[in-house]
Amino acid sequence: MPSLNLLIQSAVSGVLLGGLYGLIGLGLGLSWGFLGQINLSHFAFVFLSAYLSFDLVNKLGIDPLICLVIFPPIFFVIGVCLHWLIRRFKITPFNSLLLTFGLTVIVEAFIQWIWTADFVKLQTHYGDKKAEIFGIYLPFAETMAFVIAVIVAVMVHIVMKYTDLGKAVRAIAQDPKMATAFGIPQKRISLGIAGVCTALAALAGVCVALIYTLNPSQMYTWIGVIFAVVMLGGLGSSFGPLIAGIVIGVSEAITMVFVNPSWAPIVSFSLLIALLLFRPGKL
Amino acid sequence: MKQSSYSLVVLAGALFAMLPWLNMPAFWQSFLYIVFYWSVLAVSWNLFSGVSGYFSFGHGAFFGIGMYTVAYFCGHLEMPFLPILILAGFLAGLFGLGIGALVFRVHNVRGELFALLTLAVTFVIATIVLNTPIDGGPGVYLNSVAIPKFGPNAAATFYLMMLALLIVTMLAAIWIYSSKLGLGLSAIHDDEDAAEVMGVPTYRSKLVGLFISTYLAGMAGAIQALFVSYVTANETFSITVPLFVVLMSVLGGTRHWAGPLLGAIVITGIQYFFTVGDSALMGKMILGLILIAVILFIPNGLLGNFARSRAKKNSQKIVETLKNIYTQSPMKEVQQPTSQVLLQTHGLSKSFSGVKALQNLDLEIYQGEILGLLGPNGSGKSTFINVISGHFAATSGQKIFQGEDITGLSAHEIAVKGITRTYQTPRPFNELTVLDNTRLVASYAGNTSLEEASELAYAALTQVGLENKADALPSDLNLHQRKFLEFARALAAKPKLLMLDEVLSGLTPSEIQSSVELIQKIRSQGTTILFVEHVMSAVMALADRIAVLNHGQLIAKGLPTEVMRNPEVMVAYLGKKAD
């Protein structure tokens, strides 16, 4: 039986990791819920951003936190361009899955080409930083990811709930044609959403670079867990993915303590399967 | 067409089988092995997923089960390979059945959700394999397993085994594409709910299709396991298999059995070319680009148009033969309504989470009559048809058809009992020709072979005047013709009860006139008709009796003239008089 301290420590790690899950899931869920696109390349953009921060920090000596400021605008533009391209062809959600799959493979090959398939780890002075509260450690990078996830979720919630822009977005999600008929600039808003989602991927990528050892093919291992987060949290929901991420993060962490770390993936995937089978209507 | 395809495959297979004895260069032998291997996976994936539209991302899981069956039984337990090869297919198929039995029960898991679910299943299996004695982590070596001897050397043995499996897979694919099962699966692809109502046992069809598909994938995995002789969970359950298989099928086109074969040859060729040229990364990027380009520019695949024209030609040919032997059945005496009850409902109710769409309906339909079902919008007429056809389960109450309780039957069973329907907005299966649309229903709801069904379908098409459009796709028809296709489909099964849902709406007066005549003709051949209609002139001309619904309740029934004078009916239609 693991000690209470270990249990609490792993639960806390689970919560923090869940924040990162929520951050990645938020972007994926927004584009699925509001644009009807299942954007697999979201994972590719997370990793692209992670590798870019690796290079900027390692080669140019830039502080990783500065990446959090420079990347989102750049990725916003990438996201807008990509969505502009996809919009020109009317494709079904399923084909968007295949199309972004192709894009993911290209980005993966690109990363492998530039940074090789070897594992790389970003070493910074933040790596050892941690706070200690009652004997529980809060590592800097994980905590930062969690805080960013909370801030972003709150911002998205406020925009969706209390602004005209948010109303317009929700109207588009319900009926794009009708929304256009009522004078909502549907095209511009859709492009904006796509850009925001990709910018969120960039934010998450910086956190991933600070926390994990990177390898291009690892982008696929995130797919299951993040889809579980998105579905559990609800498509297009602002706080849903965060809460779902924490639930899954904690249950994974507890599994690791009680059973074995290598069994951890089964938690999220089983949850995803159970969700699809028992609450498919909610998606 | 079917016979010649079979012989062509067998002949080509025999030619390829001779190559190892003709001093084929080792390079070609190993290249062809890889082509065969991917072709088996792609064709086997497509014969279920491509036909039915249930895109599985879990083909790697079934393939992996085959691999690990060999790893476990031949590697750990040192059993001989050939019996385990059969077992591998069987276990993979069984697993496919298990997943299908669970997943296909859930109404909403279609399209992208099915794809995600099968992908998740792959990772769960990978985790289990990795953490149990089946693998345990380090992978399994199969060097010591004895390789069966078929050809002049070990490499030729693998070549021949995969070739044999490919031939079997292609024969299975051709069979599916030309069989009743394949026609049913295609209908599921286009409109699953309509397919079920037209008599296709959707649940069972999907299970059979998935079983065949996964069985073949498992066998491919078994041979490949011995070929690579070292099996690891990470390699086996990686994203590569599902990605490539989907890519090959989409590239080649899923609407023809040979599409994935073509896709597999093209993609394996590109891969091989770039690996040999030491630029695997380039190959990967090009594959990604191809997938994107195909989705954007040729969403139907390389063989998409070819498959379409083949389907049209096939329908044309069937019609040509039938034209010569078809003789119109002689007109029967005009049937009059009898006093024998065909369908009786007792206290039939249907609620949608609190909204009572039908309340306590007691309605009988007499053999041979035309019953008009009227009521304002939202009064429950369409719901009534949906409940009778079994598309919706009744919340409570009973349906008795020909003295038999059909309350608990599923929609396809009710169709086979002899109840068919048309849809207010035509719902043809868009990728099937007019003839295929019609003979599908004749075959399933009429419970006949495809050959007999073709004759029934031709007769039905002649009756509605669409026999010259038999090879057209529904998208080539105008609204009037599409409505008549609905008629033809419902008639082809020779139903006892035909339910018409607003067939006249949107038609011109002369089209209405011809439809009214058609309905009278159908009745004269002994079919009982329930029709929902707003065009009052047609109702008065056709109906023997009228029943009126309002807010889900039956407020009147009886002779047309009596019912129309009923004060409650007048209130329902025209509103209350102002005081």
Q: One digit per residue, pLDDT tens: chain B, 579 residues?
A: 577 888 999 999 999 988 888 888 888 888 999 999 999 999 999 999 999 989 888 899 999 999 999 999 988 888 888 899 999 999 999 999 999 988 888 776 666 678 878 888 888 898 888 888 877 778 888 887 878 887 788 888 999 999 999 999 999 999 999 899 999 999 999 999 999 999 999 999 999 999 999 999 999 999 999 998 888 888 888 877 887 898 889 888 888 889 999 999 988 888 777 776 566 778 778 888 888 888 888 888 888 888 888 888 888 888 888 887 776 665 555 567 777 888 989 989 888 887 888 888 899 999 989 999 988 888 888 899 999 999 998 888 899 999 889 988 999 999 999 999 999 888 999 989 999 999 999 999 988 888 888 888 998 898 888 888 888 999 999 888 898 899 899 889 889 999 999 888 888 888 888 888 888 888 888 889 999 988 888 888 888 899 988 888 888 888 888 888 888 877 777 676 665
- Chain A: closest CA distance from residue B47 (Å): 19
In chain A, what residues touch B131 (CB-CB under 8 Å)?
A: 260, 262-263
Residue with tokens 């050809």: B151
End position of a domain, from candidates B212, B237, B262? B237
Same-domain pairing of B361 and B218: no
Q: Do A95 and B108 touch (CB under 8 A)?
A: no
Return the CATH number at B493.
3.40.50.300
- Within a domain: B202: yes
d(CA A164, CA A147): 27
d(CA A89, CA B296): 7
Q: Which of B236, B271, B37 is nearest to B129 (CA)?
A: B236
- Chain B: closest CA distance from residue A238 (Å): 21
- Within a domain: B206: yes
Alpha helices for B327-433 (secondary structure H): 381-388, 411-417
Number of neighbours of residue B430 by Cβ within 10 angstroms: 12
d(CA A160, CA A28): 16
Which residues span the domain enclosing B98? 41-237
Q: Do A283 and B121 touch (CB under 8 A)?
A: no
d(CA B166, CA B203): 27
In chain B, what residues touch A277 (CB-CB under 8 Å)?
A: 102-103, 106, 109, 117
Pairing relationship of beta strands B370-374 and B355-366 according to DSSP bridges: unpaired
0.90 cut: is pTM over it? no
Q: Do B117 and A273 touch (CB under 8 A)?
A: yes
Of A277, A278, A283, which to mutate for an interface test with B (greatest number of B Cβ within 10 Å)? A277
In chain B, what residues touch A38 (CB-CB under 8 Å)?
A: 112
In chain A, what residues touch B251 (CB-CB under 8 Å)?
A: none
CA B295 to chain centre: 22
* Gyration radius from chain B CA atoms: 28
- Within a domain: B455: yes
Cβ–Cβ under 8 Å, residues A94 and A39: no
- Within a domain: B403: yes
ipTM of the complex: 0.81
Q: Do B127 and A269 touch (CB under 8 A)?
A: yes
d(CA A186, CA A177): 8
How much helix, strand and coil, in percent to the nearest 5, is found in chain B? 60, 10, 30
Q: Which of B143, B139, B142, B141 is nearest to B232 (CA)?
A: B139
Q: Given A98, A217, A228, which is nearest B291 (Cβ)?
A: A98
Written as six digits, the tokens of A127 are 């790596």
Q: Do B250 and A112 touch (CB under 8 A)?
A: no
Q: Given B123, B137, B290, which is nearest A269 (Cβ)?
A: B123
Written as six digits, the tokens of A62 are 């830039």
- Chain A: closest CA distance from residue B189 (Å): 13
- Which amino acid is located at A99 in the chain? L
DSSP state of B74: I
In chain A, what residues touch B296 (CB-CB under 8 Å)?
A: 89, 91, 99
Q: Do B112 and A97 touch (CB under 8 A)?
A: yes
Q: Which residue of B has its CA nearest to A114?
A: B281
A103-158: per-residue pLDDT in tens?
Answer: 888 888 888 888 877 888 877 777 677 777 777 777 888 888 899 999 999 998 99
- Chain A: closest CA distance from residue B248 (Å): 12
d(CA A137, CA A10): 10
Q: Which residue of B has its CA nearest to A36?
A: B112
Q: Do B296 and A262 touch (CB under 8 A)?
A: no
Residue with tokens 């085994």: B161
Cβ–Cβ under 8 Å, residues B65 and B91: yes
d(CA B180, CA B431): 16
Structural domains of chain B, count: 2
- Which amino acid is located at A224 in the chain? G
- Within a domain: B557: yes
The DSSP element (H or E) to which A280 belongs, if any, is: none
Q: Which of B448, B430, B431 is nearest to B439 (CA)?
A: B448
Q: Which of B414, B501, B454, B506 is nearest to B199 (CA)?
A: B414
- Within a domain: B300: no
d(CA B500, CA B458): 21
Q: Which of B28, B247, B242, B38 is nearest to B125 (CA)?
A: B242
Burial of A4 (0-12, 13-18, 19+ CB in 10 A): exposed
The C-alpha angle with vertex B227 and arms to B223 and B228, in degrees rounded to 5, equals 125
- Which amino acid is located at A163 in the chain? T
Q: Do A272 and B287 touch (CB under 8 A)?
A: no
d(CA B188, CA B219): 27
- Within a domain: B256: no
End position of a domain, from candidates B237, B267, B282? B237
- Within a domain: B227: yes
Q: Do B284 and A108 touch (CB under 8 A)?
A: yes
End position of a domain, from candidates B219, B237, B255? B237
Residue with tokens 């195909």: B294
CA A153 to chain centre: 12
- Chain B: closest CA distance from residue A262 (Å): 7
Q: Which residue of A has its CA nearest to B119?
A: A224
Q: Do A266 and B106 touch (CB under 8 A)?
A: no
Q: Does domain A4-282 sit in CATH 1.25.40?
A: no
